[in-house]
Every structure is written in C-alpha cells, then in structure tokens.
Amino acid sequence: MSKGKSGNSRLWPILGLTMLLCTALMLVGFAAALRDAWFPSRGIAVPEASEPPKAAEGGLADKPQWLVAALGDSLTRGTGDETGEGYVKRTVALLKEASGKPVKLVNNLAVNGLTAIRLSDQLEQRGVQQAVAQADIVLLTIGGNDLFQIAQSGGSIAEGRDVSPELLERLIPQTEPLLDEIFEKLRRINPNARIVYVGLYNPFYDMEQARSMSAHILDWNDYAHRLAAADGNATVVPTYDLFESNVKAYLSSDHFHPNAKGYERIAARIVQSLE
C-alpha cells in the first residue's frame, strides 16, 4: 500500500504540470488569434478590383497604334446608311490609311434615340468607362434628339409640319449644361484621349420655314467649340455647311440622318481634323 501511495504522489504533480502547460499554450494561441483579428498584418490586404487599361499619355503622333471608342446617338450608330458602315467604321478605315498605323475600334456604344441626359447616365456604367478609359480617340455625337424633338414625330418631318425654330431656341440653353457635363465626365474617365465631337446640322434647310433654325444650330456648335477649347484636347468637326448645300445629296430618305455619301463626308472631315 505504501508503494501505491508513493507512485500516486509522484503522478499528480506530473499531471498538474502537463495541464498547466496545455492551458498556457491555449492562452498563447487565443492571444495570437485576437491580435490577428484586432491588429491585422499590413502585409495582408484584400485585393481590389482591377482597373481598366488607361490611354497612354502623349500626342496621337507619338502612339504606335490608335484605339477608338464611339459614343452617342443614331448618327454614331450609322442610321440611314444602307451599307451599315456609318461614319465610325469609315473613320477607322481612313485613319489607318492616312496614319499608316494600326487603328482599332474598341466599341461603338451609340444608341438610337439617345439624349444628352441618358448619355451622361451611360458614362456612369463600368463597361462604358472601361471602353472610354483605354481609347486614344473618342468619337461623339449628341444633342440632336434633345434639340430636334420633332424627330420623334415620324412622317410629319418630311411633310414639313412641327418644324419649330422657336422650340429649338428654347431647348438649347437647357441642353448646353448637359453637354458640359458629358465633356467633364469623359475627361475624368480618360485624361489623355482626343475627344472628337461631330457638330450638328440643319436637316430641314430645304424647308423655307426651317431655314432660320441654322442660326440656332450655329449657336449650339459655337458652345461646343468653347467647351473643346477649354478642354485643350478636343475637336469639334463642322458638318452644317455640308448639309445646307447638299441636303438631297447627303440625307437619307428619313430627311434627318445622313446617307452613305453623307457619312463619307463626315468621316473625311474627322480625319482631316486629326491630321
């Protein structure tokens, strides 16, 4: 009996020491876990979403290739052109020929019927921003659906009804701030791209009651010129003179959009503006 008591007396201290060590290890592990939770290592970070590639700095002449993004309304979509080319694809082809460089269309994001406020909203979309951010050249038409609301009236255009110079004059001051907003958003998305805005024209110049609209359209284009000058890397391409002297030759049958020949002339002027 004395031997058993002696063995038990030696075993209890060993067990006690073992339990004490285990408790200490648990406390150390718990403290380490709290430290990692409360004070995470600076070397560990949650990965952020990748940013779209940015257009390289410098002038167009310094770049080995040109990436083009197109935005806006039905004119940039190419409506009225029976070939489906519009001015955008023609511009890309002519730029390749004139520059001798690779020229690629990143995306044509134009939407038929797009207004200035809807384009401003579109520029908040991630996919649109990615296309604009990587472009060296941004082609743009907007304002026609805001100022020529008569374009929504169907056949009355060709018949000459609902053509209102007075309405156009009232709409211009309401739409100019939206054009300013679009320029600002484009520049925030891409500080380096050349913005090319295609100016408006009077598609109803052959109608006597609509000829006075040309003066208001020139006011609109002049405002766009001032925005481009303030930007410093933007161009406004004039088109009003083309259509005033050649309405029947350059307009499609809807009496509003250019036909293939009209888009050819617009593309040629864009290329000239970039030379």
Ordered DSSP codes for 77-141: HTTT-TTS-HHHHHHHHHHHHHH-S-EEEEEE---TT--HHHHHHHTTSHHHHHHHHT-SEEEEE
In the chain, % of residues over pLDDT 70:
74
pLDDT score of 206: 87
Q: Which superfamily is assigned to 60-274 in CATH?
A: SGNH hydrolase (3.40.50.1110)
Residue from 210, 202, 200 nearest 160 by CA: 210
Residue type (1 letter), 233:
N
**What's the pLDDT band for 227 if we cut at 50, 70, 90?**
very high
Cα dist from 55 to 45, 122, 135, 193, 242, whole Å: 28, 20, 6, 7, 33
**What's the pLDDT band for 148 if we cut at 50, 70, 90?**
confident
Q: Which helix (H) or strand (E) holds 234?
A: strand 234-237
Cβ pair 202, 244 in contact under 8 A: yes
- Whole-number average pLDDT of the chain: 82
- For 52, the 3-state DSSP assignment is coil
pTM (2 d.p.): 0.77
Instruction: Give the Cα separation of 263 and 251 in Å (integer).
Output: 9
Residue extents of the structural domains in the chain: 1-48, 60-274
**What's the pLDDT band for 210 if we cut at 50, 70, 90?**
confident
Cβ pair 182, 119 in contact under 8 A: yes
Is the model's pLDDT at 220 over the cut of 70?
Answer: yes
Cβ pair 76, 110 in contact under 8 A: yes
- Winning range, highest mean pLDDT, from 30-34, 61-65, 94-98: 94-98
**What's the pLDDT band for 121 if we cut at 50, 70, 90?**
very high
pLDDT score of 53: 54
Worst-scoring range by mean pLDDT, 10-19, 63-72, 107-116? 10-19
pLDDT score of 36: 36
Worst-scoring range by mean pLDDT, 136-140, 161-165, 232-236? 161-165
Instruction: Give the Cα separation of 139 and 170 in Å (integer).
Output: 27
What is the rounded end-to-end Cα distance, in angstroms, of the chain? 111
Residue at token pair 């907007």: 142
Per-residue pLDDT averaged across 156-182, rounded? 81
Cα dist from 86 to 37, 46, 82, 107, whole Å: 59, 45, 9, 14
Radius of gyration of the chain from its Cα atoms, rounded to whole angstroms: 33
More confident residue, 5 or 222: 222
